[in-house]
Amino acid sequence: MMKRLFFYCLFFCACTFSIGQQKNTDSLKINAANTLDEVVVTAFQSKIKWKDAPMAVAFINQAQLQNISVNTVLPSLNSVTGVRVEERSPASYRISIRGSTLRSPFGVRNVKVYWNDIPLSDGGGNTYINLVEMNQLNGVEIIKGPSGSVYGSGTGGVILLKSNPSFLQQQKNNFTASVSGGSFGLLNENVNWSHQQKNFSMSVQQTHQQADGYRIQSASRKEVIKWDAQLSLKNHQLQFLFFYTNLFYQTPGGLTKVQMLQNPMAARLASGTLPGAVQQQTAIYNETVFAGINDHWTLNKDWNIETVVMANHTAFKNPFITNYELRDETNSGLRTNIQYHHAFNNVNTQWTTGAEWLSNHSHIDDYGNRSGVKDTVQFKDDVFANQWFVFSQLQLIIGKLNFSSGVSLNNQLYNYKRFTDPSFKEYVHSNNTNVLTPRFAISYPLNKNISLYMLAAKGFSPPSLAEIHPSDGLFHSELKPEYGWNEEAGIKGSIFHQRFSFDLAFYYFNLNDAIVSRNNAAGNQYFVNAGGAEEKGIELFMQYQLLKDADRFFKSCKVFSSYSYQPYYFSTYYQGTNNYSGHQVTGVPQNIFVAGIETQTVQQFYLNVLYNAVSSIPLTDANDEYANACHLLQFKFGKYWKMNKIRYHVFLGGDNLLNELYSLGNDINAAGRRFYNPAATRNFYAGINLSW
């Protein structure tokens, strides 16, 4: 059925493309401002219209981030083709771009994340994306596939978070306050003050979120304070970012299929000699302080230098079924590049070259877990993780042709020592040095609204600290980086006077030495290289503006859909005597279909509806168990009005309206076949937002 849906969508896209080339479209005139075609993306150090960018890139604005939910980023990010966000337990996000879930049992790996161009990813290759609150952002750019050169290592992609308030000619202060609550003890409160003037802008924000959770042992609590600012001087533009997050969430653990069907609200049960999640009080405690500054220095009309400095500290605590882990992490980073712009006759040239260095120092202490209390010392480790790369990129616009070529030289180094083992006299080293990752891309406009692009990029992704030092307590220096070439072609743009926008991409990524997750008999995770995987895919996004700025009952109405076809297979994968070559890649659904509608009336009522269908997902490398396909229906309804200079916004929303029993985040290759983390049944929320 999903394949038929895809071909119907593709046929519809082709038909409308043909019709759109005709001249008899006078009846479709609209105001084209703020359409997708006008979106400017900043990926790869450029400022270029979305349709002209020679890459697969998606942009989500501030309104779209909260179109369905004010409490989670899942609906908005999951509407992007090729992107899948999972939540194994509340506040425990796992982000996959084009199938990178394969190596991410939790968190964000294999994907670089920057916030206002300041690295949020650390030197160990991990990103605590759950430290960021969605309402702190005013935009997100997602680059899909290997993005070497400017961004260094990573085969998954890059996420660029945006939050800085803009400058205004006249001074303005703005206050907002919101509160919402919902099913399963959900409470969300947010207060924000922003100040804007000609050369300075800033925002201070406080957020509190808590929930009891649907399952036993799934409560969560989150406190965030964030400050960011921009300062414009004569030749410098400075961006500042500071946040403090105190995050706690319980981890109920996985269930077998039988256990899920019997009681999906249950936490992981005791089995054999291992106790259950409730007895061990399994949870994550993360307290992080982060600070960064970005200086954009304009030397003259042709040259500028951008320099970024960041530092953060994380205190991490994780009582687990088999152990009690304490981590003290100190991170620092430096990124700088020099950029040259010049136009030679009909050739617009931009050359960028620079370097990035990220460092992580982790003290990892492991204890026994005695009913949620740390017991005897198992080991105490000290790990230094460093990543650095130098890069250079040349962009040329010659007439209609947009050409980009870049390369990065990547290095990674781990130094590891176990203090509790007398045999460790010195640090053990693990390095990956001088790995080149080139990237070539080209785009050509067929007309002023539609462009073709092609690219080839090599991806290189070394093992993260959480993979080379996983929960089994061993240091896996034998783990090799994964790498491969991605070849891609696409067409995107708009027709019908920019009412209908589309983005169609075809890609083939040949992944070698793929890193996959496995579990030992005690349920502790470790990682191995699994040979190769062929990741061919098709991504299609379509959006149609039925009404815009109308003056009748409905002011606007927009429908959209996205489809991701991901027939990924292991090309060569042997584990002992088992041959998994030709098996479907673990944790990746072959088909994802999303459709939505957004409407607003002239009285400022609105209704947004989102439907998300995901095909079955293989849960083991042997492909002997699959998570069932699921269908999710979500909505948000609200109204805006203004009274006495205060703007009010009340809203009501619902999730899983079809009341499906499904796992929003699966534990792949799980010990004891405990694959499933059941998501909440049908649930609702409501709230109010005031601004003045």
pTM: 0.91
**5-36 pLDDT tens trace:** 433 344 334 333 333 443 333 333 333 334 56
Within a 10 A sphere around the Cβ of 336, how many other Cβ atoms?
15
C-alpha span between 70 and 687 (Å, rounded): 9
pLDDT tens for residues 111-145? 899 999 999 999 988 899 889 887 888 899 999 99
Euclidean distance between CA atoms 675 and 664, whole angstroms: 11
Q: Which DSSP symbol is given to 107?
A: B
Instruction: State which residues form the domain around 48.
Output: 2-691
Give the C-alpha separation, 519 to 471, whole Å. Answer: 9
pLDDT greater than 60 at residue 556: yes
Instruction: Specify the residue for token string 């009005």.
Output: 641
Q: Where are the beta strands (DSSP E) in 169-302?
A: 172-182, 186-196, 200-211, 220-232, 236-250, 283-298
Name the residue type at position 312.
Answer: N
Whether 300 has a pLDDT exceeding 50, the answer reads yes
Tokens 């401002």 correspond to: 33
Q: In sequence order, what are the beta bridge partners of 269?
A: none
Structure tokens given for 163: 């939050």
- Token duo for residue 291: 């600070």
**Tens digits of residue pLDDT in 382-433:** 999 999 999 999 999 998 999 999 999 999 999 999 999 988 888 988 888 8
- Which range has the top average pLDDT, 455-459, 547-551, 665-669? 455-459
CATH number of the domain within which 179 lies: 2.40.170.20
**Separation CA 412–CA 214 (nearest Å):** 41
Please state the domain count of the chain: 1
Tokens 């152990």 locate to 323
CA-CA distance, 52 to 33, in Å (whole number)? 17
The DSSP 8-state label assigned to residue 274 in this structure reads B
The count of C-alpha atoms lying within 13 angstroms of the C-alpha of 514, restricted to the half-sphere facing its C-beta, is: 31
- 8 Å CB contact between 307 and 317: no
Q: Minimum mean pLDDT among 128-142, 233-247, 360-374, 588-602: which range?
A: 128-142
